[in-house]
Structure 1
Amino acid sequence: MPSVKAALSKPFAKYVAKRIKKWASKPIETQEKVFQNLISEAKHTVFGKDHNFNEIKTYEDFKSQVPIRDYEELKPYVERVVAGEENILWRGKPIYFAKTSGTTSGAKYIPITKESMPTHVEAARNAILMYIYETGHSKFVDGKMIFLQGSPILEEKNGIKLGRLSGIVAHYVPKYLQKNRMPSLDTNCIEDWETKVDAIVEETINEDMTIISGIPSWVQMYFEKLIEKADKKVGDIFNNFNLFIFGGVNYEPYRAKFENLIGRKVDSIELYPASEGFFAFQDKQDEKGMLLQLNSGIFYEFVEADHFFEAHPKRITIKDVKVGVNYVMIISTTAGLWAYNIGDTIQFTSLSPYRVIVSGRIKHFISAFGEHVIGKEVEQALKEATENTSIAVNEFTVAPQINPEKGLPYHEWFIEFEKEPENELEFIQKLEQSLQSQNSYYLDLIEGKVLKPLRITRVKKDGFHNYMKSIGKLGGQNKIPRLSNDRKIADKIHELQLTK
């Protein structure tokens, strides 16, 4: 017999689905409203005055006044906000800073305002409600739920609270879910990731877990520790666990491994959250891609990734995008980010409604020889090479080997296998074939004898885990880049624990 909460979730899900359908069916009009609202609200900010917002009437005006910026270029404004000044990027002061690890300048402080914060919470909620609406499944709301996340302990800087996004969001779990949420606050506040996961295992192993969520690589660690302690599959430990919610990385490389750890298939929902905004979520179980959130105070622009590093790359809105093209996503938001490059590349899988997949990072690619191989391509190659086989991969990354001891250069794949291929040559051939079929530049370099086919370097068990620990990025929202254009990660892995 379903509880009142489970019963009420269905009409609420229907109501939310109707509202989403309303804006999704008028995408260009919806984005225009968001755009006009953003410009109107920020006219009197320092940024708005510096960029003549009072003269901006159209998107063309906006492009001529506001150049694309990354964090480094926006930093002079952000530093004024961090120092406690008001009305710099958005009206008033932000209510939080989401603190993230910057690659070039240490910590990054991403503002979150009273206008932008609710969109993070609503999108996460709506993802689950759309699942209920589509499948009719709602019993899981009565069970225990866990999100493997950063610590909810927040610091303060000039009167503004700051912490990891997942720690900030932890303060916004709806009251009706508070009793269901795990782990306890004390456990969630443990900073050391391995100690924290051990404590989570102790707290949850005898509970009725129905939803488990987090970045796949860190959920995998949790699952492995559960199995080690209980000596049975996760699906047998938690009989009612039927929904896995994830974000941050492509799930496909982990899917076979997870189904083995769980012992059965479970439904999954993919999310696309970031400190800068909650951009998309999976709204259909049988559709590829996530529904782009066009009504969440975010105005989107796109630049073709192949042209991004040109002096004046063409900027377009959703009106002009095409399916299957690799775009850098540029955002302007109610948090005061303007024509901001978050560093992600996406591809549209559908234009009615607008659905996207994350294809990689604009800085995470291999183009040491002009091949411009992206994350999506190496993930797809691995998926095709392991399909219908017993091969299981825990983690992987790819780097160029520019100066081999002998012969031509090549792409080096660092793979930590759970179950190794019986025929490595056949496995390499499948990887190679898939990559060549996806990327004509790579194919030309192989055929032109500029590159030789890829090589695999086996990584010892827990090798990636140890690598992340060695650089102080174990757990939380941190993840291994799928590929790099240099040897920094490759050399560190070699140094730490590589086996030939």
Structure 2
Amino acid sequence: MNRPLETQLLRLKALLQKNAQTAFGKALGFESISSYEEFTRRVPLTNYDTFKPWIDRIREGEPSVLTADRVTHLIPTSGSSGARKLIPFTTDLQREFHAAIAPWLVDLQRSFPKLIGGPAYWSITPPATSAESEISAVPVGFDSDCAYLGGARETLVKATLAVPPEALRSIEPEHYRYCTLLHLLRCRDLRLISVWHPSLPGLLMDALPEHWERLLADIAHGTDQFGALAMRPLPRRARELESLDPREPSALWPHLSVISCWADGPAALAARELRRLFPKTVIQSKGLLATEGVVTLPFASGHPLAVCSHFYEFIDDSGRATPCDALKAGAEYEVVITTGGGLYRYRLGDRVRVTGRLGRTPSLQFLGRAGNVSDLFGEKLSETFVAEALRELFAEYSPRFALLAPERWLHAGRYTLYVEGIPEGPWAERLDRILRRNPHYACCRDLGQLHLPRVVFVTNGHGAFMKRFIDAGRKAGDIKPAALSCLCDWEEHFSLESMPDRARRENATTAF
């Protein structure tokens, strides 16, 4: 933590030397690169389109294309355009993930000793479906997220799983939720929940009242209504649960110490709702991870850059890329990574803010996607700006879901806020006042290009948001939270809240 630049330059040197004789390394002259400045001259900033022809060669079975290490898997993910990407996975990339995950786990157990040896729920996302048959000499995808760890670490994590991966083989959402709840409820001693999006525990808790009686019966008899696994009957646990209220989830797991999830940027509002559901549990903001690599890790009450993993650069507002030692407190940057998986100067597409330092290593906060900008008429609304606007708009509330999206309307346009879990109010006018702080938006409003925003109340908002992308072939763990979408047809994907349901909810909120 005290020599980040020295550590980073050594990592860059090792990557270039190791991969100098690959097809990509020869094409860009890795062997003669002796400094960071030479590296930036030889290797341009890249994106997935840069690497796709090279990855196609890997998929056809050609060795030593991007890395000297053998590519063991190609991991599917997707970008902001929605097109599928295949990310090479190697043993070197696996070691880079370990270099970040291991200190996080040590710090987590040091901060919360009761976690040691206790069962945990690690979100194992169902595999994405694809209409295409896979034609690849390299396996595409893992059976479960645990395979990222590999070896002894994978075995160790599987030994503490409250929900075994084999229980979640089905990709039917209802089966997935039911089986997850069944195994979690069986596990009275649950200590840790680690998920990606903070709304996932809320979605699971929503399903509890509907399935409560069936779940208790399955727990008592060791059955599963889907017949997936044979389990030991737990009649005592069933009787204990029978005395509890499924609408008060914090009482169901008395030893639950930590929930680790995204809690920054667009995920902040959902994290606030999660804190309301589990008031006695610490909500730890997860570090910034992607399929391509890891950027930060939770450690010592901060989120320091994972300097022992990849080599990192940061693009400032002027478009200049710099290494980590040049970062300024309070400034915002776009992240660029060079990894052992064969991605060089790869624009990850995430924006971060420097919040401080741990030793001399910068600590970073995730803000949102760098390229997510909605611009129907020149209003240039960025996700970072919208996420902050929604946090201000709902300062006194905890909406379960909130997404702003554009739409064409009356030969012009307007923005619609799809929201769940707040009472009626003059939200559209308040939102408009906040968005007008963006001068481009204000100009479009004054010119009549954009009408007043509208607010639409929805039910199961995050579930519908996830379903849209999962149906398009994405894995749940690859879908990052978003405060802003550039897509214009969201209303047909959401279920709108009925007036009677809204009245009942607002009466309940008032009574509370």
Q: Could you state the TM-score of these two structures normalised by the residue count of structure 1?
A: 0.80
2:431 is the alignment partner of 1:418: no
Q: Counterpart of 1:419 in 2: which secondary structure?
A: coil
Distance 1:324 1:232, change over 3 A: same
Shift of 1:246: 1.2
Q: Which amino acid aligns with 1:143?
A: G
Q: Which residue of 1 aligns with 2:121?
A: 146
- Kept after mapping to 1: 8 A contact 2:330/2:354: yes
Structure 1 residues 353-379: Cα deviation after superposition (integer angstroms, max 9, x where no partner): 311122211231223444433323222
AA aligned to 2:250 is G
Are residue 347 (structure 1) and residue 347 (structure 2) matched? no
Which residue, 145, 150, 158 being the options, matches 1:166?
A: 145
Contact 1:152 1:168 in 2 (8 A): no
Question: For the residues of structure 2 that align with 1:102 and 1:167, how far apart are their CA atoms?
Answer: 23
For 2:354, the aligned partner's letter is F
Pairing partner for 2:313 from 282, 287, 301: 301
Superposed displacement of residue 454, structure 1: 5.4
Q: Secondary structure at the match of 1:200?
A: helix
The amino acid of 1:411's aligned partner reads Y
The match for 2:19 among 28, 42, 45 is 42
2:185 corresponds in structure 1 to 205
Q: For the residues of structure 1 that align with 2:451 and 2:143, how far apart are their CA atoms?
A: 41
Distance change in 2, residues 1:187/1:303 (3 Å)? same
Distance verdict in 2 for CA 1:474–1:331, change over 3 Å: closer
Deviations 1:273-294 (A, max 9, x none): 1111121112233x5xx21111
Letter in 1 for 2:93: S
Matched residues, number: 452
In structure 1, C-alpha distance between the alignment counterparts of 2:94 and 2:263, rounded to whole Å: 19
Report % sequence identity: 20
- Partner of 1:275, secondary structure, is coil
1:80 CA displacement: 0.9
Kindly state the Cα deviation for residue 260 of structure 1 after the two structures are TM-superposed. Answer: 2.8
Aligned to 2:219: none
Measure the CA separation in 2 of the matches of 1:147 and 1:456: 38
Runs (5+) with no aligned partner, structure 2: 213-244, 499-512
1:239 aligns with 2:254: yes
| Change over 3 Å in CA distance of 1:463–1:28 after alignment to 2 | closer
Deviations, residues 143-194 of structure 1 (Å, cap 9, x unaligned): 2200122248999942546337725326554544443212123213222233
Secondary structure (helix, strand or coil) at the match of 1:220 reads helix
Q: Deviations over 1:232-272 (max 9, x none)?
A: 42210001112011138644211332123225452424122
Q: Distance in 2 between matches of 1:130 and 1:188?
A: 29
1:292: which partner in 2? 305
- Report the CA distance between 1:89 and its aligned residue: 0.5
Where do residues 85-484 of structure 1 align in structure 2 (5 Å cutoff)?
A: 85-102=62-79, 106-133=83-110, 135=111, 137-151=112-126, 157-160=136-139, 162-163=141-142, 166=145, 168-169=147-148, 171=150, 173-207=153-187, 208-214=189-195, 215-226=197-208, 228=210, 229=212, 231-247=246-262, 250=265, 251-285=267-301, 287=302, 290-296=303-309, 298-304=310-316, 306=317, 313-351=319-357, 352-387=360-395, 389=396, 391-401=397-407, 403-405=408-410, 409-415=413-419, 417-421=420-424, 424-425=425-426, 427-428=427-428, 430-432=430-432, 434-435=434-435, 439=438, 441-442=440-441, 455-471=453-469, 472=471, 475-479=476-480, 481-484=482-485
State whether residues 413 and 454 of structure 1, in contact with CA within 8 Å, keep that contact through their aligned partners in structure 2: no
CA 1:284 to 1:376, structure 2 compared with 1: closer, same or farther past 3 Å?
farther
Q: Give the direction of change, closer, same or farther, for the CA distance of 1:79–1:452 in structure 2 (3 Å limit).
A: closer
What amino acid does structure 2 have at the position aligned with 1:252? A
Q: What SS does structure 1 have at the residue aligned with 2:76?
A: strand
Relative to structure 1, the CA distance from residue 461 to residue 267 in structure 2 (aligned partners, 3 Å threshold; closer, same or farther) is: closer
Q: Go from structure 1 to structure 2 and tell me whether the alpha carbon gap of 1:377 and 1:453 turns closer, same or farther (over 3 Å shift).
A: farther
TM-score (norm. length: structure 2)? 0.79
CA RMSD of aligned residues (A): 3.1
For structure 1, list consecutive stretches of 5 or more residues without a partner in the other structure: 1-23, 308-312
* CA distance 1:156–1:189, change in 2 (3 Å): farther
Q: From the two aligned structures, give the one with the greater strand fraction.
A: 1
- The one-character-per-residue Cα deviations of 1:198-256 (angstroms, maximum 9, x if unpaired) are 10111110311110111223232123224652524221000111201113864421133
Comparing 159-168 with 227-236, greater Cα deviation is found at 159-168
